[in-house]
Copies of this chain bind each other. A is one copy, B any other.
């Protein structure tokens, strides 16, 4: 199987294994891409963050996540519901009240969000230092 071949044309190449560098084959990249497929885009994580403070109505989310339009919010919420990260609840009063809340499964995202938030702060600091140096 691993009969120490040299695939390089230079026969005096050091004993560096040929494989090894394939982090994808090692299954490290796949989960990352799985996660990105679900979370990618400008709005999904901000919406989830807004909901971490408790269930909210459509208009509340809209106001809290500055800049998002109704159309996009609607679509993103549908995506999140489909992926099991958000639960949509219709209360049958008049007028109808619709609330969105995180699911138990989405609570596992907290670590992702925390690390991302921390890094966002760090990166902003980094950029400021760069700017100062450049000036």
**Chain A: residues with CB nearer than 8 A to chain B?**
20-24, 28-36, 38, 40-42, 45-46, 49-50, 52-54, 56, 60, 63-66, 83-84, 105, 108-109, 111-124, 126-127, 130
Contacts and interface: CB of A to CB of B under 8 A. Distances in A.
Contacts of A118: 31, 111
A121 to B, nearest CB: 5
A29 B42 contact: no
**Main SS of the interface on chain A?**
helix
B56 A32 contact: no
Contacts of A21: 53-54, 56, 60, 64
B120 A109 contact: no
8 contacts: A21-B56, A22-B63, A29-B49, A32-B116, A34-B123, A35-B119, A105-B126, A108-B119
A33 B109 contact: no
Nearest to A120: B31
Nearest to A46: B29
A133 B31 CA distance: 22
Q: Which of A63, A117, A123, A127: most chain B Cβ within 10 A?
A: A123
